[in-house]
Structure 1
Amino acid sequence: MPFGKSIRIFLPEATVTGIRHAEIINRTGQAIACPRNRLDELKEWPETGKPGVYFLFEARLGDSKPMAYIGESENVADRLLSHDRKKDFWNEVVIFSNKDDNLSKSHIKYLESRLESLAKNSDRYELENGNSPTQSSLSRSERDAMEELLEDIRLFLGTLGYPILEPLIQSSATQPTIAPASTPESPTNQELKFTVHKLVARGVQTDEGFVLKKDSTASKTYTDSLSTKLVKLKEQLIADGRLLIEGDHLRLTEDILMSSSSYAAALIAGTARSGPQSWYSENGKSLKELEDQAAASA
């Protein structure tokens, strides 16, 4: 049975862009988010002067993937002063530590390794890490405790606006226990197909929008009805190598998140399209029919 969780966020200056402290009720994990230009103030937070893991995040300013770096230290605040001098891309850090001071060097090395692996699998950010960190050897009980803390870190990151550990498409293996299960006729997380002019695209409706799946093919050309935003996005995807030119069409080299099924269909077709009437399930039902059925069931 899934259980909800309450995350308490303290804003010391009553502003959402400054330092924020987050904790889950009745749990020992805690997080502190800090803008780069406020690093000197971390000395006032003893939570940052202990063993922990941290993420350096680049602001999302365009359609390209933002960069991130995952690290660990026995004194995170001190380590960050080094990063401030040596790494230029980031504008905010999110730090994780334990209230009970029970995290050892082995624990944080284990967390760092697992976090990098999860972030790579989710593929939402370009990781600036060099070599993959070695996963330290822990006893079964300690490993389970760290896996539980990883779930808390995932919740902290998502709540603070950084879903770096969230797969674009949730599977039964990756879906957290707190997520509600979809009904068989629900359009959420169900693979859909769109075909037009010999182009074949597959996608999935999610809580965040519509995910166009890797290897979907798209039109190289577009009409005047395609929005300027989508024209610029297509150009950016080609420049990034996420859309590859193959003969008379384009092919996606990775999953990408779109704001809606209509935007996804328009990107594929190169012209304005109705997403709910373009995408179909394996049993031949349109996305509109699936949404109508889900609404009726609710």
Structure 2
Amino acid sequence: MSYGEMVGRVVKIFITGQDPRSLRTVELDNWTGVAITGQPEFFKKALEAEVLSRSCVYLLIRSGADDDLPEIYVGESDDFSQRYTSGKFPIEFDTFLIFTSKDDNLTRAHVKWLELKLWAILRGNSGKVVVANLNTPTGSNLPRADIATMQTYLGNMIYVLEALGYDLFSVKERTSTSPTGQVEQRDDEAQSLIIDLYSTLPKRLEDRAFLRYEDGTYVLTAGSKINSRITESLPSNVRKLREQLIRDGGLIERGDHLELTRDIPFSKPSPASALVKGRSSTGYQDWLRMADGVPLGAVLGIAAAVRDLVGAAQ
């Protein structure tokens, strides 16, 4: 048995009731933390959970269309069971996730520290998510021992979020949650698929943006040209990303176009091409392989077919 086969973690999901979409309680092996998640219609039921009378950090998530980004609100409370009894939420959402502890060791200072750190990480992954908070969380000053403990708690939060299918973090942030503190060995075949892609600005074939696919992540690279004009079809959260990049210097004017000044990772190719073109976009068609101009969707389809043939032959 190889090292990669031995490393793993157990995520336990308990579903309340008959509906698999209902309220879920999520636990991770050797962790006193717990997450409660569900859709809006199960929110009131979640407030009945005894653990939510303790200090919590939470996420309200509004999913995006295929060419848009999800929007997330990050918050904290010292008694979540009383937080939203009026039902007035900061954003509309389709999923909530509330993180707390099965014991009383998570304090208000802890969750304020976690809120700020999680907010900062998500803000740093601006190509994967739009953070809805208008103001920066205040955070808290913790002793060094508590900071070490909360770093572990934060890593477990990230692990649970990724295990539930939320691709919100970088590869480094994901692998840093390994229980051994080491990066796990990934499948050689998965590592070998690296695709360099380009897309052109509308009606300007000589002006290009560049995207790299590697480790399941799409990175829009610095120096890419971005359309200076936008249309009404540009998805709302990509529009917010564009505005944020212009404000913080991530996009600068270069005559008749904008230019990206830093690499931006994306979970999907379509929001990246929507940002480039200034309109709604299908990334699997609009991103073309540098070597031969084949659309990304066809490249990935061929790669999947080859993997299937190799697997059948073994």
Query: Is the structural similarity TM-score above 0.5?
Result: yes
Gaps of 5+ in 2: 244-250, 271-281
- Structure 1 CA distance for aligned equivalents of residues 226 and 149 of structure 2: 45
Q: Partner of 1:93: helix, strand, or coil?
A: strand
CA contact (8 A) 1:265 1:273 kept: no
Residue type of the alignment partner of 1:212: L
- Structure 2 CA distance for aligned equivalents of residues 211 and 62 of structure 1: 17
Shift of residue 251, structure 1, vs aligned partner: 5.1
Alignment of 1:258 onto 2:268: yes
Alignment of 1:23 onto 2:42: no
Alignment of 1:4 onto 2:4: no
CA contact (8 A) 1:57 1:69 kept: yes
Q: What residue is the counterpart of 1:226 in the other structure?
A: none
- Structure 2 CA distance for aligned equivalents of residues 241 and 145 of structure 1: 33
Q: Percent identity?
A: 24
Q: What residue is the counterpart of 1:48 in the other structure?
A: 52
Q: What residue is the counterpart of 2:176 in the other structure?
A: 176
Using the size of structure 1 for normalisation, the TM-score is 0.70
What are the equivalent positions in structure 2 for 1:187-206 lying under 5 Å apart? 187=192, 192=196, 194=198, 198-206=206-214
- Structure 2 CA distance for aligned equivalents of residues 215 and 209 of structure 1: 19
Q: Partner of 1:44: helix, strand, or coil?
A: coil
Shift of residue 73, structure 1, vs aligned partner: 0.7
Residue type of the alignment partner of 1:273: G
What CA deviation, in whole Å up to 9, does each residue of 1:169-215 have, x standing for no partner?
Answer: x35x77435353466x9446x68465986445443324445433354
Alignment of 1:142 onto 2:146: yes
Shift of residue 102, structure 1, vs aligned partner: 0.5
Alignment of 1:110 onto 2:118: no
- Structure 2 CA distance for aligned equivalents of residues 217 and 234 of structure 1: 19
- Structure 2 CA distance for aligned equivalents of residues 258 and 61 of structure 1: 11
CA contact (8 A) 2:61 2:96 kept: yes
- Structure 2 CA distance for aligned equivalents of residues 51 and 241 of structure 1: 31
What CA deviation, in whole Å up to 9, does each residue of 1:89-128 have, x standing for no partner?
Answer: 2232110011121011111111111111111112222212
- Structure 1 CA distance for aligned equivalents of residues 241 and 57 of structure 2: 31
Shift of residue 77, structure 1, vs aligned partner: 2.0
Residue type of the alignment partner of 1:102: N
CA contact (8 A) 1:73 1:79 kept: yes
Q: What residue is the counterpart of 1:267 in the other structure?
A: 286
Query: Structure 1 residues 62, 78: CA separation in 2 closer, same or farther (over 3 Å shift)?
Result: farther
- Structure 1 CA distance for aligned equivalents of residues 33 and 95 of structure 2: 20
CA contact (8 A) 1:201 1:268 kept: no
Q: How many pairs were matched up? A: 267
Q: Partner of 1:31: helix, strand, or coil?
A: strand
Alignment of 1:211 onto 2:219: yes
Query: Structure 1 residues 177, 55: CA separation in 2 closer, same or farther (over 3 Å shift)?
Result: closer
Shift of residue 240, structure 1, vs aligned partner: 5.7
- Structure 2 CA distance for aligned equivalents of residues 234 and 248 of structure 1: 21
Shift of residue 218, structure 1, vs aligned partner: 6.8
- Structure 2 CA distance for aligned equivalents of residues 127 and 219 of structure 1: 24
Shift of residue 32, structure 1, vs aligned partner: 0.3
Q: What residue is the counterpart of 1:229 in the other structure?
A: none
Query: Structure 1 residues 36, 191: CA separation in 2 closer, same or farther (over 3 Å shift)?
Result: same
What CA deviation, in whole Å up to 9, does each residue of 1:222-244 have, x standing for no partner?
Answer: xxxxxxxxxx9995498567498
